[in-house]
Chain A
């Protein structure tokens, strides 16, 4: 019979937990496979419903989410480094500012003779 010291030492050894083995490589029976597939399908359906219920990022919602100052910039001025800086400074988040710039560049044509700074910069060959 182990004494009290042995029992304490056994407890100390038991604190080292053996590593769990890898799962058994078995093929599921038909019913078990159907249950697993049904579970996976349910997860997919829930994910699809959640995706559909999210509001789409359209123009009107974008306008609502941005402050008026940012909206004014996006509607009236061409996108320059200065306006981009202003957007960054005034937007509630960096993501909102980037989104504003993206919408802006799609819908506001530049006046004749003016060129976008970003378009010019994108033409440059930069070495990284």
Chain B
């Protein structure tokens, strides 16, 4: 596959900028880092194969939507849910506190799937409510309420004492 340099470099830049959040989004849905990585690669390789033919207005939102679709298609093929892998870290935690990372990952994983997606899209992908609504094909108000619920549950799981997270 021979590719035009400028376009390839641009896609690589996009991959560097958003790859980590896209991978996290895919892992948050699948629970399996290997399959999530495959889904993200699949989206980018398709993008490269298509070349610059497609005019994409909002590249970031487009990529998250593609990864979402790719993962959902794969899940239909797998026909099963994947348990959380404790040994596969999702984050580099602050101060390399990997027990905090595991606690956080577990808290994230017990959220309903729809709420977990919204948290990842808003916190790490830094997408707006309308972008999230478009990606997940839901209303903006639904996205907002899912986010509020998810944040409250995460706070309860991670910061049982009042304000303990804000101080750290």
Residues of A within 8 A of B (CB): 2, 5-6, 8-10, 12-22, 24-32
Contacts and interface: CB of A to CB of B under 8 A. Distances in A.
Given A9-B151, A26-B45, A29-B5, A18 B166 contact: no
Contacts of A20: 19-20, 23
B69 interface: no
Nearest to A10: B123
A18 B3 contact: no
The listed residue with most A CB atoms (<10 A of its CB), out of B21, B44, B90, B123, is B123
Contacts, number: 90
Contacts of B19: 20-21
A15 B94 contact: yes
B1 A24 contact: no
11 contacts: A9-B166, A16-B91, A18-B124, A19-B92, A24-B48, A26-B12, A26-B45, A26-B48, A28-B8, A29-B5, A32-B8
A15 B2 CA distance: 39
